[in-house]
Amino acid sequence: MRLITFRHGDSAVLRLGALDGDTVIDIQKAARMAGTQPPADLLDLIRRGNAAALVDSGKRSRGVPCDEVVVTAPIPRPDANVICLGRNYTGHAAEMARARAGEVTGPTYFSKAVTTVIGPNDPIPYDAAVSTQIDWEVELAVVIGRRAEGVEARDALHYVFGYMVVNDVSARDLQYGRGGQFFYGKSLNGSCPSGPALVTSDEIDPSRLVIRSRVNGEIKQEATTADMIFDVGAIIADLSRVMTLEPGQIIATGTPPGVGYAREPQEFLRPGDILESEIEGIGVLRNRVEAGSLAMRANA
Binding site for Mg ion (CB under 5 A): 137, 168, 255
Q: How far apart are CA 261 and CA 267, in angstroms?
A: 6
Q: How far apart are CA 47 and CA 90, in angstroms?
A: 35
Segment (H or E) for 24: strand 23-26
List the end-to-end C-alpha distance of the chain, in Å, as a whole number. 27
Chain residue whose CB lies nearest Mg ion: 168
Residue closer to Mg ion by CB (options 56, 267) is: 267
Q: What is the 3-state secondary structure (H, E, C) of 220-284?
A: EEEEEHHHECCCHHHHHHHHHCCCCECCCCEEECCCCCCCHHHCCCCCCCCCCCEEEEEECCCEE
| Shortest Cβ 156–Mg ion spacing (Å) | 20
| Shortest Cβ 87–Mg ion spacing (Å) | 8
Q: 157 — phi, psi (to 5°)? A: -65, -20
- Strands, E, within 145-235: which ranges? 160-167, 170-171, 192-200, 210-215, 218-224
